[in-house]
Amino acid sequence: MSIAELTTLYAEYKTARRAADYDAAIGALMDMKAQLATTPNLTRSMGGAGSQGISWNSEAIDGLIAQCRALKSAITSASSGLQQMKVTYARADATSEYA
Q: Band the pLDDT of 88: cuts 50, 70, 90.
A: confident
Quick one: pLDDT band at residue 91, thresholds 50, 70, 90? Answer: low
- pLDDT the model gives residue 8: 92
Q: Residue 6: which residues within 8 A CB-CB, separation 6 or more?
A: 32, 35, 36
Stronger pLDDT, 11 or 46, i.e. the higher one: 11
In this prediction the pTM is: 0.50
User: In this model, does residue 75 exceed pLDDT 60?
Assistant: yes
If you ran DSSP here, which 8-state letter would residue 97 be given? S
Cα distance between residue 12 and residue 28, in whole Å:
6
Tens of pLDDT along 14-72?
999 999 999 999 899 888 887 877 776 677 666 666 676 666 566 777 887 888 888 88
Q: What does the alpha-carbon distance between residue 67 and residue 17 come to, in Å, rounded to a whole number?
A: 10
Instruction: Identify the H or E element spanning 32.
Output: helix 22-38
Residue 14 has a pLDDT of 95
Nearest to 40 by CA among 30, 24, 28, 52: 52
pLDDT for residue 17: 93
Question: For the chain, which residues make up each domain, given as ranges?
Answer: 3-45+52-77
